[in-house]
Amino acid sequence: MEVCPDCQVPLENRTVYTQYQTDLPPIVPIVTEFHIQAGTCPCCGQRWQGRHPEQISDAIGAANNQLGPVILTMAAELKHRLGVPYRKICDFFTTYLDLEICPATFCRAEQRLAQLAAPTYALLLDALRRCDVVHADETGWRISCLNAWLWVFSSSTVTIYAIRTSRGHDVPEEILGPSFDGILVVDGLNSYNVLDYVQSRCNGHLLRRCRRLADDLGDPAAVAYVERLLRLVQEAIDVAERREELTPAGYARRVTELENRLDAWIDAWAPRFGADVNRLVNHVCAHRGEWFVFLHEAGVPPTNNHAEQMLRPAVISRKIGGCNKTLLGALVHGMLASLMVSCVQQGKRFLDLAKQLFYAPTVPAIPLTSLPDG
């Protein structure tokens, strides 16, 4: 620009600026034509058919037009990791990829992918059972008109989703197995009480309960009693965060002091505080050894926020996609979502895993740690 658009006079102090704009070119699907050799052995009569390393199916004839692994994996991730329904995914592919695909095609493809991924999922489940710290949580789910729950069991590198009609202790026992010797971080659900695992209770839930109770109580003495626990738990979390700043002996003294103060708080309870405070004290006493586990074990966090964060995508999927319509769909969702999220945790790409599964002529067992970095 050399002149003013309004005054039509030459501009002064002209400067040239640089701007960058990144965009995508028109996305055109690539169609690969395979010429497959086949024949019959004259000796044994057995018919043989060749297979290219990039084929994902041996289908010929009327079923010789197949979708590739990138399209199928993209649709599966949009559905099971991001919660987009297949109907909307098909509309998106039509708009941006110029591909007309029926939602039922993706449903059949995800079932096939889950079948191929079953051995890898079994390895993932075994890896979870070997973890030192596992977080557990659950949220409401539906399978058609049936009430169900989506459970999450997650460590720093592995996550397992399981959709079950039970909210009882049988689900953690099924997923973690009888020989789990790590620490299970949980919230206040009573189903965990009967488990024999070493547990750590979520102090975040305890803090929220104390705050609500202090706001509702009318007795100043009862409010002061509840706030005393509130300050104690917050101080314990602060001490754990400053573990590296303290000497081992100094840190041990602080932990002993906090444990003694918790016992003193329990002993200071009085019946006049009311039934709500009484229930709080009973809850703290019932899990006395599970509140300050994070002070003694460096790898254990004070809250169960990790499990809640891993549940958040499932809650979004529930609101957008409406859960599952069939038991098979629930099984497929739990398996594929577990593999996808675990790949993200380990810095891998689910696409690389899916390609290995689709390309393999037989069903392989692929540990996630064997995948190349994305």
DSSP string, 128-177: HHT-SEEEEEEEEEEETTEEEEEEEEE-SS-EEEEEES--STHHHHHHH-
**Burial track 289-326 (b if 16+ CB lie within 10 A, e otherwise):** ebbbbbbeeeebbbbbebbbebbebbeebbeebebbee
Length of the chain: 374
pLDDT tens by residue, 29-52: 899 999 999 999 999 989 999 989
Residue 243 pLDDT grade (very low, low, confident, very high; cuts 50, 70, 90): very high
Q: What are phi and psi of 247, to 5 degrees?
A: -70, 155
- 124 in Cβ contact with 160 (< 8 Å): yes
Q: What is the pLDDT of residue 314?
A: 84
pLDDT in tens, 139-182: 999 998 899 999 999 999 999 999 999 999 999 999 999 999 99
Q: What is the pLDDT of residue 364?
A: 67
Q: Give the per-residue pLDDT at 370.
A: 56
Q: What is the pLDDT of residue 271?
A: 85
Distance of alpha carbon 134 from alpha carbon 43, whole angstroms: 58
**CB distance 200 to 183 below 8 Å:** yes
pLDDT of residue 196: 92
Going through 17-70 in order, the beta strands assigned E by DSSP cover 38-40, 47-49
pLDDT digits (tens, 9 = 90+) for 306-344: 999 999 888 888 887 778 889 999 999 999 999 999 999
Enter the pTM of the model: 0.87
Written as six digits, the tokens of 316 are 């979004």
pLDDT at 72 over 60: yes
Alpha helix (H) ranges present in the chain? 69-80, 86-96, 103-129, 170-176, 203-216, 220-241, 248-267, 275-286, 293-296, 305-321, 327-345, 350-359
